[in-house]
């Protein structure tokens, strides 16, 4: 007998339960209804979704799991079918020509119908030269014609019979199928088969491209970030440029109606922790609901499959253009745009960089309504061709004394009381600090108070002279233990900005 592990019995019971759910018809029907309800809600068919919920008696007791939906099941089935049979499944097929049945009660119509019926009954004698396709069509509908004629002979009333006493004749006509719109119909059917609306172009006509589009969609930010421009200390030049590029075209579109185009790309560089990513967060928070924000990292762009990274890039810019106005944010862009003349570069890396260059400033894309924002700590490692693509290159400066004083007061004002003398001293100690290093020093001060609370030590907040001196000593110690990294790189960034900035 096979021994069970620690969780063997539980896992086996769960598998048996899931197997029973799959085999149970009522459970399958309920799950399909919930899948259809979510699909309708996600695509905006709210009235249909409410009607389905009422007719299907869907209760609030159940909800779908987060990792499953109708579209994902469709794609999984298509991928499995392709792997098993070497081709993708055909979901829809074109309808056969519809048949129109008419009854003629007048004599003339009856004679015509009689002639047609005789021609159908003896196709080889009366029309020996008839084409094979028409003969096949008659063979396909012969049984239905005979059954309908027999029913008419038996059930026809005297009022329905014509002047000769014969029953009304049966006419079968081929309905119009709008041959002029045949091409358009095929395109629409192709769109439905591949799961996208007719508004999309031919880029997403393949299932592979649709899978890449689903991957790119994961980079769209949808989180609620409570951040405002006023929360950013300093860097007013960068804020103004970002507003000119993103917010001004939305608020004043008439200013760009006569050939003038807003800034389409901006490269932010500076020491680590100077606030480059913080500016991007503030932009996302201020434009949430107005702009589609793509947060792109190397893990999304780089693929192990040959040629897939270039496809992801093309899908990214295509989706950004279709969802304009949009922002594409490349964090740490030097990992994607290093110099191309290095001997260690692989062929796939060179193809990826060439594709990105073409998309940033090529003949195919105009980037209308798309703003490319990038940040880097190492601008001197970026290839010159990419630097030319960025219309603006800006150094994110370290906070000056006034900005440091405002930042320290904001971070420590709620936890301790800062005197004017202590605040001035902290401003001097934080010289050449980045904004993130000041945050870390202030966090260390707050954590000291947490340590006192968790270890049962007195917090020394009774307002005496001794506790105030201890507090000042602890605050100074927290700022002195921070080793500023920006001081080492600031001179190099300033020199690079002087040589290449704009």
pLDDT of residue 25: 75
pLDDT > 80? residue 96: no
Contact 360, 405 (CB under 8 A): no
Task: Categorize the per-residue pLDDT at 393 as very low, low, confident or very high, splitting at 50, 70 and 90.
Answer: very high
Residues 343-370, mean pLDDT to the nearest whole number: 78
pLDDT tens per residue across span 159-176? 555 555 555 555 555 554
Using DSSP, how many helices (H) and how many strands (E) does the chain show?
A: 21, 7
pLDDT of residue 201: 55
Q: How many CA atoms lie within 13 A of 197 on its CB side?
A: 2
pLDDT of residue 18: 57
Lowest model confidence (mean pLDDT) among 15-29, 48-62, 321-335, 398-412: 15-29
Task: Identify the residue with better confidence: 201 or 115.
Answer: 201
Strands (E), 423-488: none
Task: Identify the residue with better confidence: 173 or 482.
Answer: 482
H-only helix segments in 194-328: 207-217, 236-242, 248-251, 276-286, 298-301, 308-322
Task: Categorize the per-residue pLDDT at 390 as very low, low, confident or very high, splitting at 50, 70 and 90.
Answer: very high
pLDDT of residue 373: 94
pLDDT of residue 501: 79
Domains and CATH numbers, the chain: 8-65 (no CATH), 99-176 (no CATH), 215-395 (3.40.50.300), 401-487 (1.10.8.60)
Residues 399-410, mean pLDDT to the nearest whole number: 88
Residues 465-478, mean pLDDT to the nearest whole number: 73
Task: Categorize the per-residue pLDDT at 274 as very low, low, confident or very high, splitting at 50, 70 and 90.
Answer: confident
Residues 479-483, mean pLDDT to the nearest whole number: 83
pLDDT of residue 374: 93
**Which 3 state secondary structure label does DSSP give 371?**
strand
- Tell me the C-alpha distance between 204 and 75, whole Å: 13
Residues 25-35, mean pLDDT to the nearest whole number: 85
pLDDT of residue 472: 77
Report percent pLDDT > 90 for the chain. 12
pLDDT of residue 446: 81
pLDDT of residue 143: 47
pLDDT > 60? residue 38: yes
- Tell me the C-alpha distance between 229 and 280, whole Å: 11
Selection from 128, 144, 149 nearest residue 96 by Cα: 144
- Tell me the C-alpha distance between 39 and 16, whole Å: 29
Q: Please give the DSSP secondary-structure letter assigned to residue 166.
A: P
Task: Categorize the per-residue pLDDT at 19 as very low, low, confident or very high, splitting at 50, 70 and 90.
Answer: low
pLDDT of residue 85: 76
**Which 3 state secondary structure label does DSSP give 227?**
coil
Q: What are phi and psi of 170, to 5 degrees?
A: -100, 125
Task: Categorize the per-residue pLDDT at 329 as very low, low, confident or very high, splitting at 50, 70 and 90.
Answer: very high
pLDDT of residue 376: 92
Report percent pLDDT > 70 for the chain. 70
pLDDT of residue 120: 45
pLDDT of residue 79: 83
pLDDT > 50? residue 187: no
Residues 434-439, mean pLDDT to the nearest whole number: 88
CA distances to 52, 195, 212, 350 from 192, in Å: 22, 5, 18, 37
């Amino acid at each position: 007998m096979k021994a069970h592990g620690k969780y063997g019995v539980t896992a086996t019971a769960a598998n048996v339960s899931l197997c029973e759910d799959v085999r149970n018809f009522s459970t399958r029907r309920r799950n399909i209804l919930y899948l259809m309800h979510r699909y309708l809600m996600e695509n905006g068919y709210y009235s249909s979704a409410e009607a389905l919920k009422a007719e299907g008696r869907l209760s609030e007791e159940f909800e779908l799991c987060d990792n499953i939906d109708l579209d994902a099941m469709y794609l999984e089935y298509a991928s499995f079918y392709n792997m098993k049979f070497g081709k993708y499944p055909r979901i829809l097929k074109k309808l056969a020509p519809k048949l129109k049945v008419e009854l003629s009660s007048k004599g003339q119509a009856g004679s015509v119908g009689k002639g047609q019926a005789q021609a159908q009954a003896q196709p080889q004698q009366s029309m020996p030269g008839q084409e094979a396709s028409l003969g096949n069509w008659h063979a396909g509908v012969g049984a239905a014609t005979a059954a309908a004629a027999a029913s008419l002979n038996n059930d026809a009333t005297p009022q329905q019979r014509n002047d000769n006493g014969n029953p009304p004749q049966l006419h079968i006509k081929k309905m119009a199928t709008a041959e002029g719109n045949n091409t358009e119909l095929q395109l629409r059917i192709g769109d439905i088969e591949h799961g996208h609306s007719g508004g999309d172009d031919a880029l997403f006509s393949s299932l592979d491209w649709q899978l890449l589009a689903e991957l790119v969609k994961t980079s769209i930010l949808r989180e609620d970030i409570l951040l405002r421009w006023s929360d950013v200390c300093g860097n007013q030049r960068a804020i103004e440029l970002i507003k000119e590029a993103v917010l001004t075209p939305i608020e004043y579109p008439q200013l760009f109606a006569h050939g003038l185009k807003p800034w389409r790309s901006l490269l932010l560089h500076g020491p680590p922790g100077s606030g480059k990513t913080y500016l991007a967060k503030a932009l996302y928070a201020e434009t949430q609901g107005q702009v589609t924000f793509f947060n792109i990292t190397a893990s999304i762009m780089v693929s192990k499959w040959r040629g897939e990274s270039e496809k992801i890039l093309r899908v990214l810019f295509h989706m950004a253009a279709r969802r304009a106005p949009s922002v594409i944010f490349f964090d740490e862009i030097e990992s994607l745009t290093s110099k191309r003349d290095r001997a260690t570069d692989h062929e796939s890396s060179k193809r990826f960089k060439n594709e990105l260059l073409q998309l940033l400033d090529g003949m195919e894309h105009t980037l209308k309504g798309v703003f490319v924002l990038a940040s880097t700590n190492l601008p001197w490692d970026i290839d010159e061709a990419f630097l030319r693509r960025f219309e603006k290159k800006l150094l994110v400066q370290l906070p000056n004394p006034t900005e440091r004083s405002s930042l320290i007061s904001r971070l420590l004002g709620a936890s301790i009381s800062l005197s004017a003398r202590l605040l001035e001293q902290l401003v001097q100690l934080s010289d050449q600090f980045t904004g993130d290093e000041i945050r870390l020093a202030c966090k260390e001060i707050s954590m000291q108070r947490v340590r006192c609370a968790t270890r049962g030590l007195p917090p020394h907040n009774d307002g005496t002279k001794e506790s105030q001196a201890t507090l000042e000593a602890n605050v100074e110690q927290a700022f002195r233990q921070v080793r500023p990294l920006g001081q080492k790189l600031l001179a190099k960034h300033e020199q690079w900005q002087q040589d290449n900035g704009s």
